[in-house]
Amino acid sequence: MLDISLCMIVRNEVQHLERCLASVRGLAGEIIVGDTGSDDGTVDVALRFGAQVIPVVWENDFAKARNAVLRHASRSWILVLDADEQADGWDPAEVAALLADPRIFGYYVHVISYVGEPDSREYVTDSVCRLFRNDPRIRFRGSIHEEAASCIEEMPGSPLAFSRLIIRHYGYTQREIERKNKMGRNLALIRTALRQTPGDPLLRYALGTEYFQAENYPAAVRTLLPLLAETSTDRGYLSDLFAKCAYSLYMLREDERALSIIESGLSLYADFSDLHELRALVLIRQGKLVQALGALEAALHCGDVSARYSSTSGCGTYRTHYLAGQVWDRLLRFAEAASHYERALSYRPGYLPAWTELVPLHLLQERSSRLIALLASYPEALSPELMTILLPSALNARSAELVSYLHDACKNRFDGVPLLPLLETIALFLADKDDAAYAKLRDLLREAPADPALVRYGWAAAWKRQRTEQAREIARLFGGDRLLRIQICLEERQNQIDGDFDWLPAWQALVQIGAWDAALRLYRNANGAIRPGTAPPSIVSGMLQAPAAYRRQWCRQYEALCTEEAETKAPIHASELLLYTILALSCGIKPDIPVAGLARLCADRLGADMALACYRIAKAAFYGRLPDDYRDWRQLFRVLPARSDEQGERNGPATATP
């Protein structure tokens, strides 16, 4: 835990509070929640997370309430969050480095506030001082839109700084605005009117809609389903009744009832894309993927029907294409999946779910040029959030072409991006200009010795240059416990890594800059605690760029590990077996895992079967070319040794051996 007190004021936030508190697990050493009158279980959630809950009298003054909570803080730093916010991926080592700077009394964090419908992912951003020292001179001002930055600015030297920390805020979504400000009023009005005219269909429809928007699907079904049976086809809201009833049943996992409603709705509204897409969602959950594709194609044929129906954003266009890509992915038809993801981007270039699937898909096929072409076609899509997807993947895949493109794009689009010098440095490493890269990295470290990313790359660069003492010094002085433990594992062969240890950032740094000796040594010395197959998929592309000698050594080390683990019966992970198979094929060696090891293969059944199939096919292919067309695999029965039924009955069921 860090020396931070999380300070909050809440009221009836049981829907959000757990997500908020979970996001700071491992960061805040103390949680203080000021409750202004909750009656929905909010206090129980806070107590479950070990919070100190204090009652706060609400006097219509946010600053006064916040300052009442601040007075109870005992740690050196204070973090302020609202219940509908969450700290997004804060690295404890990075936060600790910020707290260690004696010159700074407060940090601005980047707040991303989502607006509109939650699924729209539209947002506004702001920089707000939410992390500051526990100093009695620092207090909030303003009864509403309160802030603490002005207090810090008045202190000598204005010791405020900007950080790269991100807070995601969900309180401005339309659903939250309605839930907090309008839903209660609307329900009260509707219920009062229904007491006067209990059977009024419009009032019942309005009541069911309120339940639906509040995601109270059981109540929505109880209200809307009887109304659906009574409503005539001349009612304009009938199509929406079908959609709301079907979706509510889908969310309640009553799939057969949902399908029945959908089919009835489509008999009246055959061009209603939302019903086709919803039918696909039900079929996907049932595992009927080919039928789901048919429903998605029907939705795409209908297209955007918002001019005719009460429809949802993206249905019949980008969202439906994305869902089709997901189904093709599950069918292992990656070209078709990529085509649908790209069609989704043609409708909405900034649609992050499609980019999330496309980036590793193209990088694993060594198609960086295709990603660059897409980015060039949709320059407006290159947002900071998209960069958080592209940059790690491009670096992991060691794609010099894509890294260079992103560097130039950042330089031309985002002024003052702190990552630009680091991108230039890594690009030099990818071009094997190690001396120039190291000199540039050294200068960057002098300017920001506490930057965790720079520290990791500086440490990895020292290993690449075989400067063990220098790597040790960087890890000891700047790397924190995590990097120091990895250094000990590398240098002294003492395995400091367990199953919960976060080894991935250091591993990525080694692979990204090509410190192959250190990466292989770390893999060997960790004795199975490091599992590259569980890393992001793009790291596979990066590992395939290692010299063949290193890839062979990785394979032999994995084989040895499987043999050693046979004694403890430790499980083999499907992702690791698949990575091993790919590496073996890439360097021309025969895959050779002990039979006992394969018997311990564990994962989801589909993943295990797929990994094992690839392994066995690869091993068979080592002895001779297998047909490329799956239909020709039937011909293999002509060349396999004959086995009579009688022999099979004597010996029992045949046991497949690798």
Residue 322 has a pLDDT of 97
Residue 346 has pLDDT above 90, yes or no: yes
- State how far the Cα of 293 lies from the Cα of 284, in Å rounded to an integer: 9
Bridge partner residues of 573 (DSSP): 602
Measured from the Cβ of residue 361, the count of other Cβ atoms closer than 10 Å reads 20
End-to-end CA distance of the chain: 48
Identify the H or E element spanning 126.
Answer: strand 122-133
How does residue 658 score in pLDDT terms, banded at 50, 70 and 90? very low
How does residue 654 score in pLDDT terms, banded at 50, 70 and 90? very low
CATH superfamily to which 2-172 belongs: Spore Coat Polysaccharide Biosynthesis Protein SpsA; Chain A (3.90.550.10)
Residue 279 has a pLDDT of 98
Residue 651 has a pLDDT of 33
- State how far the Cα of 553 lies from the Cα of 202, in Å rounded to an integer: 72
- State how far the Cα of 324 lies from the Cα of 293, in Å rounded to an integer: 6
Residue 283 has a pLDDT of 97
- State how far the Cα of 631 lies from the Cα of 521, in Å rounded to an integer: 43
How does residue 308 score in pLDDT terms, banded at 50, 70 and 90? confident
Residue 307 has pLDDT above 70, yes or no: no
Residue 120 has a pLDDT of 60
Lowest mean pLDDT among 300-314, 404-418, 486-500: 404-418
Nearest to 201, CA basis, from 183, 223, 175, 222: 223
Distances (CA, A) of 286 to 337, 505, 582: 20, 38, 32
Strands 601-602 and 122-133: unpaired
Residue 82 has a pLDDT of 92
573 Rama sector, left if φ>0, alpha if ψ -120 to 50, beta otherwise: beta
Q: Is the dihedral of CA 466, 468, 470, 471 positive or negative?
A: positive
What are the tens digits of pLDDT across the range 156-200?
Answer: 887 899 898 999 988 767 677 666 654 675 677 678 778 878 888
Instruction: Report the percent of the chain where pLDDT is more than 90.
Output: 47
| Mean pLDDT, range 442-448, rounded to an integer | 86
DSSP string of 440-503?
A: HHHHHHHH-TT-HHHHHHHHHHHHHTT-HHHHHHHHHHHSHHHHHHHHHHHHH------TT---
How does residue 418 score in pLDDT terms, banded at 50, 70 and 90? low
Distances (CA, A) of 277 to 119, 250, 295, 343: 16, 12, 6, 16
Residue 655 has pLDDT above 70, yes or no: no
What are the tens digits of pLDDT across the range 558-615?
Answer: 988 888 766 666 677 888 888 898 899 888 888 888 777 677 776 567 778 888 888 8
- State how far the Cα of 592 lies from the Cα of 602, in Å rounded to an integer: 18
How does residue 431 score in pLDDT terms, banded at 50, 70 and 90? confident
What are the tens digits of pLDDT across the range 84-132?
Answer: 999 999 999 999 999 999 999 999 898 877 767 665 664 456 678 999 9
| Mean pLDDT, range 605-629, rounded to an integer | 76
Nearest to 508, CA basis, from 493, 486, 492, 528: 486
Identify the H or E element spanning 350.
Answer: none
Nearest to 290, CA basis, from 337, 341, 330: 330
Strands 160-169 and 106-115: parallel
Quote the mean pLDDT of the chain: 85
Residue 648 has a pLDDT of 34
How does residue 228 score in pLDDT terms, banded at 50, 70 and 90? very high
Instruction: Report the percent of the chain where pLDDT is more than 70.
Output: 86
Measured from the Cβ of residue 575, the count of other Cβ atoms closer than 10 Å reads 18
Per domain, the residue ranges of the chain are 2-172, 176-367, 547-629
Identify whether the C-beta of residue 474 lies closer than 8 Å to the C-beta of residue 455: yes
Residue 657 has pLDDT above 50, yes or no: no
Residue 634 has pLDDT above 60, yes or no: no
Nearest to 354, CA basis, from 379, 391, 317, 384: 317
One CATH from 3.40.50.300, 3.40.50.2020, 1.25.40.10, 2.60.120.560 for 176-367: 1.25.40.10
Residue 647 has pLDDT above 50, yes or no: no
Identify whether the C-beta of residue 309 lies closer than 8 Å to the C-beta of residue 278: no
Residue 414 has a pLDDT of 63
How does residue 408 score in pLDDT terms, banded at 50, 70 and 90? confident
Residue 263 has a pLDDT of 97
**The two three-digit tokens of residue 492, written as one number:** 């002294």
What are the tens digits of pLDDT across the range 580-593?
Answer: 988 998 888 888 88
- State how far the Cα of 427 lies from the Cα of 395, in Å rounded to an integer: 9
CB-based burial of residue 6 (10 Å sphere; 0-12 exposed, 13-18 middle, 19+ buried)? buried
